[in-house]
């Protein structure tokens, strides 16, 4: 009997990996510790964002981001004592904030995001996938005039280097584009080719497709260890018994570093906790998904509801809600919307984004086990980059041709600090 390929982790990256593996004719079993999509894949704002090319690490980010982390309303916060892993990550992040590293990371993110959007379109054409796809673009809204004006440099760079469509809407012209915004803002930059989906519907649709295609899905199964002999993995040790496997793809997001020592590699992923609030409303909803740049808070309209999300909190592997971070979401919404949402919240969510300091995921063979592939570290673009990540991981696992060059995502790129 042919041993299956196991995909460990039932988020969007894991689901996409399983999908592309079975398209290649492989027997696949998907293991999830909780339930499919229970982690960072479920509560995000649903952006399919080829516009998100620039990583967090760019020239000037140390001054702009790291130096403001202690502010209560900073988009990024550190709320845990420094440990050596986080300290190393921050030093590597600071070193990455140079022009050449940023350009390399941006080019790789562009490939990943552009490929993923095309794969989403192919999925919707080929499968019965119900995800509330809307292609209304994405709007970056600025409160301060200086911030809006400074973004012109970024907009020109994205347009000239990567061919992105981007439009500037100064002052109240942005309200003509999106009437739910309040007047008096500095303006907004509009990316017409971005899209949105309902994250939970994507996961639910993929689950059904995988089952129909013969993929075995097991929830409530936690992989505790890997049995590795002579450079190959023979079995997965789980809380429900050992599983003999021909190969495995580790798609466990922010918790992928738990396997680092066993796999003989460094996995510099830090959990960056994000939050969202889902607010049921019958009021006029925004047509265009938006990001409020001053707090980097995102807002998306779903059917009968508004989701307000984002912020970045380095709090370790802490699952608790930070009420101050949740309050920042509502504060930002009230400062930007003409009719701010009320306090009725149907869902509070937080989850760990798998943050790599250079803004790129890790998609590669594990050094200690040639038949184990890591596919994790997609940061804040997990939903937007999941299809290409999954297809690249499936290609590496089967020795077939990947849709994009996998070299930028190699584990070998990490230096002495890790």
More confident residue, 366 or 71: 366
Confidence of residue 81 (pLDDT cuts 50, 70, 90): confident
Residue 210 is predicted with a pLDDT of 97
Average pLDDT over residues 308-321: 92
Residue 69 is predicted with a pLDDT of 65
The number of beta carbons lying within 10 Å of the beta carbon of residue 139 is 25
Cα distance between residue 20 and residue 219, in whole Å: 20
Nearest to 294 by CA among 167, 145, 99, 155: 145
Lowest mean pLDDT among 71-85, 108-122, 137-151: 71-85
Residue 188 is predicted with a pLDDT of 98
Residue 31: HSE in the Cβ half-sphere, 13 Å Cα cutoff: 23
Residue 153 is predicted with a pLDDT of 97
Give yes or no for residue 66 having a pLDDT over 90.
Answer: no
Q: What is the mean pLDDT of the chain?
A: 94
Average pLDDT over residues 204-210: 96
Cα distance between residue 205 and residue 404, in whole Å: 25
Residue 326 is predicted with a pLDDT of 92
Average pLDDT over residues 280-293: 92
Confidence of residue 71 (pLDDT cuts 50, 70, 90): low
Residue 322 is predicted with a pLDDT of 92
Confidence of residue 229 (pLDDT cuts 50, 70, 90): very high
Cα distance between residue 418 and residue 73, in whole Å: 31
Cα distance between residue 418 and residue 413, in whole Å: 10
Give yes or no for residue 198 having a pLDDT over 70.
Answer: yes
The number of beta carbons lying within 10 Å of the beta carbon of residue 160 is 9
Confidence of residue 417 (pLDDT cuts 50, 70, 90): low
Give yes or no for residue 194 having a pLDDT over 70.
Answer: yes
Average pLDDT over residues 279-304: 93
Residue 418 is predicted with a pLDDT of 63
Residue 347 is predicted with a pLDDT of 92
């Amino acid at each position: 009997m042919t041993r299956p390929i196991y995909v460990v982790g039932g988020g969007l990256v894991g689901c996409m990996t399983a999908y592309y593996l079975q398209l290649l004719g492989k027997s696949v079993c998907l293991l999830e510790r909780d339930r499919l999509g229970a982690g960072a894949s479920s509560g995000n704002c649903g952006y399919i964002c080829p516009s998100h090319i620039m990583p967090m690490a760019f020239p000037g980010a140390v001054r702009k981001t790291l130096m403001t982390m202690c502010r209560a309303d900073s988009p990024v916060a550190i709320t845990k004592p420094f440990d050596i892993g986080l300290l190393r990550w921050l030093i590597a992040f600071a070193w990455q904030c140079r022009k050449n590293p940023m350009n390399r990371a941006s080019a790789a993110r562009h490939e990943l995001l552009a490929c993923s959007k095309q794969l989403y379109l192919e999925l919707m054409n080929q499968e019965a996938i119900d995800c509330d796809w809307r292609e209304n673009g994405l709007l970056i809204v600025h409160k301060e005039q200086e911030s809006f004006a400074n973004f012109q440099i970024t907009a020109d760079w994205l347009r000239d280097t990567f061919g992105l469509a981007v439009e500037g809407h100064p002052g109240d012209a942005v309200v003509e584009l999106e009437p739910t915004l309040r007047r008096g803002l500095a303006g907004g930059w509009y990316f017409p080719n971005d899209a949105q989906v309902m994250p939970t519907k994507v996961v639910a649709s993929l689950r059904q497709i995988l089952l129909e295609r013969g993929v075995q899905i097991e929830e409530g199964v936690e992989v505790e260890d890997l049995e590795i002999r002579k450079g190959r993995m023979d079995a997965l040790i789980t809380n429900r018994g050992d599983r003999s496997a021909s190969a495995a793809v580790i798609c466990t997001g922010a918790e992928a570093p738990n396997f680092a020592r066993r796999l003989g590699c460094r996995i510099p992923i830090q959990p960056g906790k994000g939050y969202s609030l889902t607010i049921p409303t019958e009021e006029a909803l925004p047509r265009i998904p938006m990001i409020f740049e001053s707090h980097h808070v995102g807002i998306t309209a779903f059917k009968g509801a508004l989701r307000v999300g984002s912020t970045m909190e380095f709090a370790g592997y802490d699952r608790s809600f930070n009420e101050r971070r949740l309050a920042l979401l509502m504060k930002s919404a009230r400062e930007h919307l003409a009719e701010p949402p009320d306090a009725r919240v149907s869902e509070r969510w937080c989850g760990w984004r798998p943050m790599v300091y250079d803004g790129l995921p890790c998609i590669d063979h594990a050094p200690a086990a040639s038949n184990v592939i890591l596919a994790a570290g997609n940061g804040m673009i997990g939903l937007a980059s999941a299809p290409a990540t999954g297809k690249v991981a499936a290609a590496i696992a089967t020795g077939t041709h990947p849709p994009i060059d996998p070299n930028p995502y190699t584990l070998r790129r990490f230096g002495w600090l890790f």
